[in-house]
Amino acid sequence: ALPALPQPGQGGAAAPDGPVTPWRPPVEDPFLSAMRSTARPGGLGRRFFARLIDGAVVFGLAAAAAVPFAGKVTDHIQDKIEDAENTGRTVTVWLVDGTTGPYLALILGVYLVLGLLYEALPVSTWGRTLGKKICGIKVLDIEGQDPPSFGAATRRWLTYGVLGLLGIGLVNVLWCLFDKPWRQCWHDKAARTYVAGS
């Protein structure tokens, strides 16, 4: 048998088991809850102090690694200066040469490796470094809202480090002052991350 059709003047469709329940809007708007679950960008002051702490840790460790070579480099440069003075002419003394260049490359390599171990590994694991933990901020993937992958965290650190070595690191970190809405620096854009308040 076919179900009965609604009679004119009746509201809603007839249901085989009883009256029709009117539509009700959802209790929680799914778009509103998604917006609430997105962490807001962290404050610029907190980011600045976290970067100071993290920079001091990495620089301190790299400087400690450089101590064994400092005496050799200083003696070599001093010998070059004395040799130039003994010629009695004006001579250009290059500070980076075949002796000091490998030491410089070694120290830069140590700096990058320490940065990877100190920055990329903790950021990909917990979303934060020591400085970020102290300042109450964390690094999140912009889409997943969770800590970035190790590859993204490595790309973030390398972009930050290389831009700093090229002399445009200041422009990189100041970029977050103008970026909307995530306040990303260039290294955040390269890794598709942002710094969020926790």
Arithmetic mean of pLDDT over the chain: 87
Q: What is the pLDDT of residue 46?
A: 97
Low-confidence ranges of the chain (pLDDT < 50): none
Identify whether 5 is part of a domain.
Answer: no
Residue 198's pLDDT is: 78
What per-residue confidence (pLDDT) applies to 155?
A: 97
Q: Is residue 123 part of a domain?
A: yes
Q: What is the pLDDT of residues 63-99, one digit of tens each?
A: 998 899 888 899 999 999 899 889 888 888 888 899 8
Residue closest to 134 by CA, chosen among 38, 59, 198:
198
For position 108, what pLDDT does the model report?
86
Phi and psi at residue 141, in whole multiples of 5°? -65, 135
**Structural domain span for residue 55:** 41-197
19 belongs to a structural domain: no
Does residue 55 form part of some domain? yes
Radius of gyration of the chain measured on its C-alpha atoms: 30
Within-domain flag for 91: yes
Instruction: Domain count for the chain, please give it.
Output: 1
| Domain assignment present for 14 | no
